[in-house]
Structure 1
Amino acid sequence: MTVNNKRVFYVKYLAHPIYADILKTRSDVRLDRLENESPENDFAPVLSSAHAYQIGAARDELAPHFHVHDEFLKHTPNLLIVSSNGAGFDPVDVDACTRAGVLVVNQSGGNAYSVAEHALGMLLTLSKRIIEADRALRRERDVNRNALMGTEAQGRTIGIVGIGNVGRRIAELCSGLLGMKVLAYDPYLSASEIEARGAEKVELDDLLRRSDYVSINCPLTKESRGMIGAKQFALMQPHAYFITTARGFIHDENALLDALRAKTIAGAGLDVWSKEPPAPEHPLLQLDNVLASPHTAGVTREARENMGRIAAEQLLTALDGKRPPRIINPEVWPHYSERFARTFGVAPK
Structure 2
Amino acid sequence: MKIVITRKIPPSIVSLMEDGHEVYMWDDEETVMPRQLLLQHAADADAIFTNVSDRIDKELLGRAPRLKVVSTMAVGYNNIDIAEAKKRGIRVGHTPEVLSEAVADLTFALLLGTARRVVEADRYTRAGKWKGWGPMLLTGQDVYGAAIGIIGMGRIGRGVARRAKGFGMHILYHNRTRKPEAEQELGAQWRSLEQLLSESDYVVMLAPSTPETHSMIGPRQFAQMKPNAILINTSRGGNVDEQALYDALTTGKIWGAGLDVFETEPIGKEHPLLQLPNVIALPHIGSATIETRLQMADIAARNLLAALRNERMLYSVIG
Check whether the contact 2:153–2:179 (CA below 8 A) recurs between aligned residues. no
Query: Given residue 19 of structure 1, which amino acid in structure 2 is its aligned partner?
Result: I
* Cross-structure match for 1:128: 116
* Cross-structure match for 1:106: 94
CA distance in 2, matches of 1:292, 1:34: 27
- 1:75 corresponds to 2:67: no
Check whether the contact 2:100–2:155 (CA below 8 A) recurs between aligned residues. yes
Aligned residues: 311
- 1:31 corresponds to 2:23: yes
Percentage identity across paired residues of the two chains: 33
Q: Which has the higher helix share?
A: 1
- 1:20 corresponds to 2:14: yes
Q: SS state of the match for residue 146, structure 1?
A: coil
CA distance in 2, matches of 1:228, 1:136: 31
* Cross-structure match for 2:2: 7
* Cross-structure match for 2:30: none
CA distance in 2, matches of 1:251, 1:82: 28
Check whether the contact 1:131–1:288 (CA below 8 A) recurs between aligned residues. no
1:141 to 1:200, Cα distance in 2 relative to 1, 3 A: closer
- CA-based RMSD of the aligned residues comes to 2.5
1:30 to 1:218, Cα distance in 2 relative to 1, 3 A: farther
1:62-107 CA deviation, whole Å, 9 max, x = no partner?
4xxxx22222111112322211122122421222222222222211
Q: 1:156: Cα distance to partner?
A: 1.8
Check whether the contact 1:83–1:105 (CA below 8 A) recurs between aligned residues. yes
Scaled by the length of structure 1, the TM-score of the pair is: 0.80
CA distance in 1, matches of 2:144, 2:79: 39
- 1:146 corresponds to 2:140: no
Q: SS state of the match for residue 184, structure 1?
A: strand
CA distance in 2, matches of 1:290, 1:124: 12
Where do 1:186-197 residues align within 5 Å?
186-187=175-176, 189-195=177-183
2:160 to 163, 166, 170: 170
CA distance in 1, matches of 2:35, 2:246: 39
1:252 to 241, 246, 251: 241
1:123-163 CA deviation, whole Å, 9 max, x = no partner?
11222222333344436353634143233311222122222
1:74 to 1:269, Cα distance in 2 relative to 1, 3 A: same
1:290-329 CA deviation, whole Å, 9 max, x = no partner?
1111212222212211111111222233333333243334
Q: SS state of the match for residue 206, structure 1?
A: helix
